[in-house]
Chain A
């Protein structure tokens, strides 16, 4: 399977704990995006990478969130000191270099903060 993969698929954590998610994009894709989707809403943009450089962050991305993409391959999204409001589906997408190229989404990581 050469699509976008994400790990874990589900994560349950207690409030105040740190969590880290991983995304492996389609190998030829230079751009990698993170989105968050809450129940009944469309995905909302969090941040994106072009190769290893993080080029834009949404105002939704508080200081407790950090993302990396070492060597321009896989990416990690870490949430520190989780809050109940962080409960959501975290989606990763990748695309070719030009911004207008279609984005392909991974299966998502469902985070539940208790």
Chain B
């Protein structure tokens, strides 16, 4: 069974602090996606990681992919309140392209 596991599931941070969200997956995948979801809203694409060793950065967020370890990380630098949201990682579930999502990491950044 294909599984995507994220940890932690809940993360309460203080502004200005750094932290990392982890995403492990159970099958080989040469690409991985990170999405952001605000409460009651749809999913916003953050990063598409296309190969082993890929690293992408946007503002205070940096994502990386290690396909050999089946691990992706989303690193948050100097968190600000606007980053409060739920973050999902996802891989393709099969040849048809449907995405398999983790349960999400709910991030709360407090002043």
B95 and A99 within 8 A (CB): yes
B42 and A105 within 8 A (CB): yes
Q: Does B101 contact A (CB under 8 A)?
A: yes
B96 and A103 within 8 A (CB): no
Closest B-chain residue to A43, C-beta based?
Answer: B101
Count B interface residues, CB 8 Å.
Answer: 25
Partner of B92, one of A44, A99, A110: A99
Closest A-chain residue to B101, C-beta based?
Answer: A42
Interface residues on chain A, size class: 20 to 34
Contact with A along B86-111 (1 / 0, CB 8 A): 00101011011111111110000000
Q: How far is the CA of A24 from the CA of B83 in the complex (A)?
A: 29
Q: A105-B43, A107-B41 are in contact. Are A45 and B98 (CB under 8 A)?
A: yes
B42 and A45 within 8 A (CB): no
B42 and A100 within 8 A (CB): no
Q: Which residues of B contact A25 (CB under 8 A)?
A: none
Cross-chain pairs A/B with CB under 8 angstroms, 27 sampled: A33-B97, A33-B98, A35-B99, A40-B104, A41-B104, A42-B102, A42-B103, A43-B43, A43-B88, A43-B101, A44-B101, A48-B96, A48-B98, A91-B43, A93-B99, A95-B97, A98-B97, A99-B96, A99-B97, A100-B92, A101-B97, A103-B33, A103-B99, A105-B43, A105-B45, A106-B42, A107-B41
Residues of A within 8 A of B (CB): 31, 33, 35, 40-45, 48, 55-56, 58, 91, 93, 95, 98-108, 110
Residues of B within 8 A of A (CB): 4, 31, 33, 35, 40-45, 48, 88, 90, 92-93, 95-104
